[in-house]
Amino acid sequence: MLYCEKCKVTVRSKHDRCPLCQGELAGAYEENERIFPVVEAEKTPYPMIHRIIAFAAIAVCVICVAVNWIVTPHYRWSWYVVGATICTWIVVNVGIAKRKNLMKNTLWQLLIIEVLLAAWDGFLGWNRWWVNFFFPIGILLAFVVMLTITIVWKLSSPQYMIYLLAVNVTGCIPIILLLTRAVTTPLPSVICAAVSILSLAAFFIFQRRAVISEIHKKFHI
């Protein structure tokens, strides 16, 4: 290790003279000496949680299929349990993966749950319970959750603006569904659309600069 007698400091990098006083260095430079400390990777319990959840999901599926095969082989109810278990596994894993950003987590959960519910409605014969109830109610719940997070955590506009805008824009989709008569029970869709339009109007009237700024940042326009 190189050492400066005058400055009383050690020099770990390869120098002919002291970087401070330009004096001669004593000792010898060691090639294998580390200049920076070794930082160990942070260990978290979440990978193990993923494994536990995956094993529990597989166990539920296998047990239900086995019981169904033995007790009621004429009615394949276990396939519904398997489908529900897979959907739950997807939602939980996304929730864990996006845990650091609650606003983004809520938006992802809304998207995934709505897609899964739409798939279930189609699989069961398209009874329109998703488009009539779960789609507009899910958007309203996501909006309430995001608003609560914003108030409780006292988030600044860059932290919540784009997510609330995305939910409110999505909440305007029921207007199209109402106009095309895809909805047979209009009340939830009307409430969802009204809340979304009022929220968007409030943003553009009271926080116009923040809205425009966030749109410029996210979309580079």
**Per-residue pLDDT for 40 more than 90?**
no
Residue that wins the pLDDT comparison between 69 and 41: 69
Strands 2-4 and 9-11: antiparallel
**Predicted local distance difference test score (pLDDT) of residue 97:** 86
Lowest mean pLDDT among 30-39, 44-53, 115-124, 181-190: 30-39
**pLDDT given at position 14:** 75
Encode pLDDT of 125-163 as tens digits. 999 999 999 999 999 999 999 999 999 999 998 899 999
Report whether pLDDT(203) > 80. Answer: yes
Residues of the chain with pLDDT > 70, as a percent, come to: 92
Mean pLDDT rounded to a whole number for the chain: 90
DSSP code of 94? H
Which residue shows structure tokens 């000496």?
33
User: Quick one: 53 exposed, middle or buried, by C-beta within 10 A (0-12, 13-18, 19+)?
Assistant: middle
The identity of residue 5, as a single letter, is: E
Rounded to two decimals, the pTM is 0.76
pLDDT of residue 221: 66
Residue 177: pLDDT band with limits 50, 70, 90: very high
Q: Would the pLDDT of 180 be above 90?
A: yes
- pLDDT value at position 138? 97
- Residue 188, CB-side half-sphere exposure with 13 Å CA sphere: 17
- The tokens describing 16, both together, are 């002919």
The domain limits of the chain are 1-38, 127-221
Place 111 in a pLDDT band, splitting at 50, 70 and 90.
Answer: very high
Alpha-carbon torsion angle 185, 186, 189, 193, nearest 10: 180
Q: In the structure, what pLDDT confidence band is assigned to residue 43 with cuts at 50, 70 and 90? A: low
What is the pLDDT at residue 204? 93
List pLDDT tens digits, range 89-109: 999 999 988 888 999 999 999
Higher-pLDDT residue of 82 and 9 is: 82
90 Cα distance to chain centroid: 12
pLDDT for the residue 46: 62
Q: What is the structure's pLDDT at 33?
A: 59
Task: Please give the residue that has the higher pLDDT: either 202 or 31.
Answer: 202
